[in-house]
Structure 1
Amino acid sequence: MKNRQSLFAYILLAVFIIGGLAYFFAPFPPGKKAVDAVSSTPPSTAGFVKEGEIVFLRNGQKIKKIDVEIAENEAEQSKGLMYRPYLPDSAGMLFIFNDSAPRNFWMKNTIIPLDIMYVDAGKKIISIAKNTKPYSEESVPSLGNAQYVVEVNAGFSERHDIKTGDAISF
């Protein structure tokens, strides 16, 4: 009987030690299971998915073309480029709103710095917030009514000489 109790105690101790080590070295936050981590990971971390193209124009002449993902509903617009560790330089996100109004964006949960271009209903760039600060909860306002917003990597507008007054086509 004593040997059986000792064996049970050793097995129980081994289970606790292995369980503790697995918990300590687990790649998932406490309280999360592997299934939760996969299903709760925002799709945006999976990588860029081309859904369209934008051409930047000045006086009707093409400046630059990029591939874009499109955020056209409230859920996609709320998430934007949050949680992305990387965005190709030839890519961005186009936000399409139902109306033209003053817009405010922020960088909460956004890992990479961005240039945020606010575009009016006529598809003219009305303001550019350059090199926005990652993770910032500070409001980044449009400087007028915007119906569209384009987010690209920080420095994109400088590298490609994109300015307020230029236009987009998509």
Structure 2
Amino acid sequence: MKNRQSIIAYILLGVFLLGGAAYYLVPFITTSKVEPINLNVPAEAPNFVKEGEVTFLKNGKVHLKIDVEIAENENERAKGLMYRSSIPDSVGMLFIFDRPEPQSFWMHNTSIPLDIMYVDANKKIISIAANTEPYSDEAVPSLGDAQYVVEVNAGFSERNNIKTGDAISF
């Protein structure tokens, strides 16, 4: 009888230990990729709302116009184009800062690759960060003092021959 109780005790101990181990090991042996959960995601992606236009100028002449949303306060600038699944190629976002200074953007919670154009106080494009990586927390700095920033779909600058040294108006 004592051997039988010992065997049952060992079996129960084994089941307990294996069950406990399985609880801790299951997350590591799953084959599906687990994406991080962001609790700040809005229920639906924001819709584009035209708030103005940006005109791109080459040698002082109108080259191209796009419709833009304007981010002119801290909350709007922090949110930017986050949570958008897409934007039309004819639109973008214009960020307006109080004064020119080095700027740095990131792609946190931004699911679409973007071109980020940094623009100085004279509205001249001083640098373009092309085809930025979605969801990246890596800093994308301006290459000088920028007072304005224009974000558009990745490849927009190349497709439309927008270059450093061109200007904008709005």
Residues 46-101 of structure 1: per-residue CA shift (max 9 Å, x gap): 31000000000011111110000000000000000000001110000000000100
Paired residue secondary structure (2:147): strand
Residues 15-47 of structure 1: per-residue CA shift (max 9 Å, x gap): xxxxxxxxxxxxxxxxx9xxxx9xx7278x231
Q: Which has the higher helix share?
A: 1
Taking structure 2 as the reference length, the TM-score comes to 0.75
Paired residue secondary structure (1:46): coil
Paired residue secondary structure (1:151): strand
Deviation of 1:117 after TM superposition, in Å, equals: 0.1
1:122 paired residue number? 122
Runs of 4+ in 1 over 3 A off after TM superposition: none
2:42 paired residue number? 41
Tell me if the contact between 2:46 and 2:83 (Cα under 8 Å) persists in the aligned partners: no
Q: Which has the larger radius of gyration?
A: 2
Structure 1 residue 64 corresponds to structure 2 residue 96? no
1:104 paired residue number? 104
What is the aligned-residue RMSD (CA, Å)? 1.8
Tell me if the contact between 2:132 and 2:154 (Cα under 8 Å) persists in the aligned partners: yes
2:7 paired residue number? none
Whole-angstrom CA distance in 2 between matches of 1:118 and 1:41 = 28
2:87 paired residue number? 87
Whole-angstrom CA distance in 1 between matches of 2:63 and 2:159 = 11
Whole-angstrom CA distance in 1 between matches of 2:126 and 2:42 = 34
Taking structure 1 as the reference length, the TM-score comes to 0.75
Q: Percent identity?
A: 70
Count of aligned residue pairs for this structure pair:
133
Tell me if the contact between 1:107 and 1:135 (Cα under 8 Å) persists in the aligned partners: yes
